[in-house]
Structure 1
Amino acid sequence: MPPTVDIPAARPQEDARPRVSDIAARLERLPMSGYQRRIFAIIASAWLVDQIDVALLTFLLGSIVVAFGLTPTEAGQLAAMTFAGQLVGNILAGTASDRFGRKAVFQVTMVVWGLASLAAAAAWSLPVLMACRFLIGAGVGGEAPVAQAMVSEIVPASVRGKYIAIMEGFWAVGYVLSGAISFFVLPYLGWRWAFVVVGLLSLVMLAVRRSMPESPRWLAEAGRGAEAEAVMATMERAVERATGRPLPPVPATMAVAAVRPAPRLGAVATLFAPEYRLRTVMAFGLWFFALIGFFGLNSWIAVLLKERGFSIVGSVGFVTLITLGGIPGFAAAALLLERAGRKPTTALFLVCAAASAYLYGNAGGDAVLTVAGVAVTWLFVAGFVMQFFMFGMWSCLYAYTPELYPTRARATGAGFASAFGRIGAILGPMIVPVLVRDHGPATAFQVGAGGFLIAALLVLILGVETRGKVLEAVSH
């Protein structure tokens, strides 16, 4: 049983500031309504456009290689710049969000990657394009821990994992839309206009985000009690209007905090405090090995298909189609995260991603050019299944990580874990061309599968279960 604390019916007259436990209890007793879903939709739709931009290079890399006459090493370096930017963005925006608030940092990240995307369309050399991709990565990477923290702090514990998993489902939709934009824009306007389209979308989402509230949990934790109370009261009135009935009372006793108060440490120091140390090792390793597998394979998948005989446009279309498998993958992960739990679901998707990546790497073989019908059919099935589990894996990572840390370090923990993942994402696209050159494409997929298996072992050995627990209870 999680530890409990008593929540008084009324705060003492001399202390008008709401405590963190008060805010948590009031948030957790709110039924899900159209109001919370609207906030979630704003975060998720912005997330959708972000991922369109991140995925764009997967589909445009073949054209950019031709336009700039890149060697495989240079192409790998270009792909790695996005992840280098994400690493920096994860750390800076994650820590800034815990210090300055969720809403402001969320807005800044959108401006950074939107302007960088428009600048990428005008890039006249490889170094300029690499700089633009770095900034795109910094903006989108900074957004990730902030979005995780916001959704986890607003949505009740009973459905928290499901909603974060659904948010990640927009990532798969964004990936597919990125492929669709590339498929229709590339033949007629070229790769530069694909960046223009995505940059313009960012302006629309920036306007939408302005209506988002600040996290009342963060405001209370930061000591800004009057603002926390104002936002909380606004949310309560909005939920009452949305549901058309009075809110349930705040329970007299609720599992929202540990019996022994946690020491007041800085956000980064908290990650390495004794009670969080093993969680941090698990989270950092999980992200590193999962992303070295995912991006090592996906950044090069269209290029590998081109080497197997597909045209540039044909390989883009094929990757777009198999990526559709990620959408039911997210849905399945959202269901299992709440029913089976975070730990077993995360391990299951990682193990299945490893198996399907191995199968995809060995699908079709040299027969793809001579027996096109049969080979492409098996290649499609194997690729669809691989994307099902790899994209479902993302739901697990994003649902699980922010639950491991307290509010004062939640975005920092998610940001640092994501940053370790970006190190893997940087290494993956660099390792793959060497493996392909020396040992063939199948070896690259085998190494990616190994990364998924190591990540699964870390979860099984060091992971803790967080399903259905109030954030203030599970983070102590």
Structure 2
Amino acid sequence: MDRLPWSRFHWMVVVGLGAVWILDGLEVTIVGSMSEALKPNDTGLGLSSFDVGLAGAVYVAGACLGALFFGQLTDRFGRKKLFLITLAVYTVATVLTAFSMTPLWYFACRFLTGAGIGGEYAAINSAIDELIPKKYRGRVDVAINGSFWVGAAGGALLTIPLLDPNMVDPAWGWRVAFGLGAILAVGILVVRRHVPESPRWLFIHGREDEGEDIVRGIEDRVARENGTSLEGVSETITIRQRRTIPLTTIAKTVFTLYPKRTVLCLSLFIGQAFLYNAFFFTYGDTLGEFMGVEQVGWYIAVFAVSNFVGALALSPLFDSIGRVRMLTATYVISGVLLGITGLTLGSYTAVTLTLMGCIIFFFASAGASAAYLTASEVFPMETRALCIAFFYAIGTAAGGIAGPLLFGKLIEDATSGGEGISAIALGYYIGAALMVAGGIVAAFLGVKAEGKSLESIAQPLTAEDDASPSDGGREHQHA
């Protein structure tokens, strides 16, 4: 798998699996923009400002719990089963959201939608890294994670006509917005059905014949599409196959065998989560409360495009310059720029603040995307999905719960006290400090994973130098 040239098969993997980030970006942006539309009793659901905040917290809680729940199942039952199930959960929950009649119904649907998205992160990142050749793994993973901002830009632009009462009835606009996400999800599901199970997962779980059949099929397809013959494989690894691997074994491995990598991933995830809450997730409120912008969709769309361009443009450098240098550079540069923005916050207009945000997140989006790449490739295969889920849950909880509470309070105090935009600079400083700290940690604890197979970065738990059948496992060689 690692020696294969790029082909149409890999594009199918990218489209079928990677498009989930577009859904997440669409979901987050639409919900953020629809808050006011949900407040009226006649056309919305009669939500209060507290209810809107509660719905956001419920979504985050669902994402965290869904990541942990589905992440464990992904390692246990396979990548394909779970990336089909999690997308189905998201689709059904989004459709049900569009039919919400009461706040309680809406909250329940937001929780289930978050659970589906959280599960997607774990299942998809593991599958992508196990199917993409090592030469391209870094750039593909970073670019795919950065595609969140394609959805964010699309969501921002969609809200412009959907929130215009002259174009769409206010009672239907927000419902249509949720329905559009479900339509996109169904399209992704059609493509995703053709993505195979990870041969690596099949092999370790005692289903080597299925794994070999899938690999042969992929090799034949790639050779036929590219018109070339593939070179042979000489490297082997001995695996003691087991149907299930206890969760206690997985946890013990992550925290005792790889403590430095655990600290690295926690630093990266918490830093990027707080950074985005320091700027993006309070961006609409900042423009509206302090700068009098009524239609923030255009500004958010421009900001989102810069994020995706940054991830796309910088992603190849994670394979060429290397993971450690690029993680350090993107985290430190974006953190320093955010700190400078906080110091000069009172001097910006809506346009210049957006421009500064575009520059900051050109670097930050690549770094944040690489945090997912790091968590998915530096731990053993048996723990991959659960590790992604764990670090995603920690980062999301820190940024999605603590962040909004802090920054919402800063904005509220600033507007009620008449202090102006400079009063929210504290949030920028915290985000900046965490990003710079994450970059420094990456410089010392980062893993040089570029161009290496996943098995050489972190040996599978089932790998044996001197295999022993004492636990009922079977010894088998994998090329």
Matched positions, count: 438
Alpha-carbon distance between aligned partners in 2 of 1:447 and 1:73, rounded to the nearest angstrom: 25
The CA distance in 2 between the partners of 1:58 and 1:349, in whole Å, is 27
Query: Structure 1 residue aligned with 2:315, among 334, 350, 364?
Result: 334
Match of 1:307 in 2: 289
How far the C-alpha of 1:436 sits from its partner, in A, is 2.4
Change (3 A) 1:318 1:165: same
Q: Does 1:173 align with 2:150?
A: yes
Does residue 210 in structure 1 map to residue 193 in structure 2?
A: yes
Once the two structures are superposed, residues 100-130 of structure 1 have per-residue CA deviations (whole angstroms, 9 ceiling, x without a partner) of: 0101100111111111112222323433322
Following superposition, the deviation at residue 87 of structure 1 comes to 0.5
2:19 match: secondary structure: helix
1:270 equivalenced with 2:250 (yes/no): yes
* Aligned residue number for residue 347 of structure 1: 328
Give me the TM-score of the superposition, normalised by structure 1. 0.85
* Equivalent residue, structure 2, for 1:291: 273
Q: Distance in 1 between matches of 2:366 and 2:287?
A: 23
Three-state SS of the structure 2 residue aligned to 1:467 is coil
Q: Structure 1 residues 330 and 110 mapped into 2: Cα distance closer, same or farther (>3 Å)?
A: same
Offset, 1:397: 1.1
Does the 8 Å contact 2:203/2:241 carry over to 1?
no
Alignment partners' CA distance in 1, 2:185 and 2:18: 13
- Larger deviation: 137-146 or 264-273? 264-273
1:317 corresponds to which of 298, 302, 308: 298
- In 1: Cα distance, 2:194 partner to 2:296 partner: 40
Q: 2: CA distance between counterparts of 1:219 and 1:340? A: 33
Amino acid at match of 1:283: C
1:232 correspondence with 2:215: yes
Q: How far apart, CA to CA, are the structure 2 residues paired with 1:345 and 1:165?
A: 11
Residues in 1 aligned to 2:425 and 2:46: alpha-carbon distance in whole angstroms? 26
Counterpart contact for 2:16–2:189, Cα < 8 Å = no
Alpha-carbon distance in 2 for matches of 1:62, 1:445 = 26
Q: Superposed, which structure 2 residues align to 1:183-262 within 5 Å?
A: 183-187=160-164, 188-189=167-168, 190-250=173-233, 252=234, 254=235
CA contact (8 A) 1:297 1:429 kept: no
The change in CA–CA distance for 1:72 and 1:433 in structure 2 (over 3 A counts) is: farther
Matching of residue 406 in structure 1 with residue 387 in structure 2: no
Report the counterpart of residue 107 of structure 1 in structure 2.
Answer: 84
Deviation at 1:71, TM superposition (A): 5.5
1:434, distance to aligned residue in structure 2 (A) = 1.5
Read off the aligned partner of 2:196 and give its amino acid letter.
Answer: P
CA RMSD of aligned residues (A): 2.6
**Which has the higher mean CA deviation after the structures are superposed, 456-465 or 131-140?**
456-465
Residues 283, 101 of structure 1: alpha-carbon distance in 2 compared, 3 angstrom cutoff: same
Question: Aligned partners of 2:240, 2:225: CA distance in 1, in Å?
Answer: 37
Q: Alpha-carbon deviation of 1:412?
A: 1.1
Q: Which moved more, 1:297-306 or 1:101-110?
A: 297-306
| Contact residue 271 and residue 277 of structure 1 kept, 8 A | no
Give the SS at the match of 2:257: coil
Does the 8 A contact of 1:297 with 1:432 survive in 2?
Answer: no
- Aligned partners of 2:196 and 2:241: how far apart in 1? 28
Q: Does 1:432 align with 2:438?
A: no
The offset of 1:72, in angstroms, is 5.0
Separation of aligned partners in 1, 2:80 and 2:226: 26
Instruction: Select between 205-214 and 70-79 the one with higher mean Cα deviation.
Output: 70-79
Distance 2:106 2:379 in 1: 36
Unpaired runs of at least 5, structure 2? 415-422, 460-479
1:35 Cα deviation from its structure 2 partner: 1.8
Q: Deviations over 1:210-259 (max 9, x none)?
A: 11111101100111111111111111111111111221122x3x3x6599
Distance in 2, Cα, partners of 1:364 & 1:463: 33
The answer for the alignment partner of 1:6 in structure 2 is none
Corresponding letter in the other structure for 1:59? S
Q: Please tell me whether residue 415 in structure 1 is matched to residue 389 in structure 2.
A: yes
Moved more, 47-56 or 379-388: 47-56
- Return the match for 1:48 from 12, 19, 22: 22
Q: Are positions 1:78 and 2:55 aligned together?
A: yes
In structure 1, the partner of 2:472 is none
Report what 1:60 is aligned to: 34
> Within 1, Cα distance between the matches of 2:45 and 2:23?
27
C-alpha separation in 2, matches of 1:202 and 1:41: 12
Report the Cα offset of residue 76 of structure 1: 2.9
Identity over the aligned pairs, expressed in percent?
26
**Structure 1 gap segments, 5+ residues each:** 1-26, 369-374
**Structure 1 residue 182 and structure 2 residue 165: aligned?**
no
Q: Does 1:124 align with 2:101?
A: yes
Q: Which residue identity is paired with 2:249?
A: A
Corresponding residue for residue 365 of structure 2 = 391
**Structure 2 letter corresponding to 1:450:** A
Q: Distance in 2 between matches of 1:355 and 1:129?
A: 39
Report the Cα offset of residue 191 of structure 1: 2.2
Change (3 A) 1:201 1:132: same
1:261 Cα offset (Å): 12
Structure with the larger RCO, 1 or 2 (CA within 8 Å, 6+ apart): 1
| TM-score normalized with structure 2 length | 0.84
Go from structure 1 to structure 2 and tell me whether the alpha carbon gap of 1:449 and 1:128 turns closer, same or farther (over 3 Å shift): farther
What amino acid does structure 2 have at the position aligned with 1:432? F
Over residues 79-101 of structure 1, what are the superposed CA-to-partner deviations in whole Å (9 max), with x where a residue is unaligned?
Answer: 22222111011111111111101
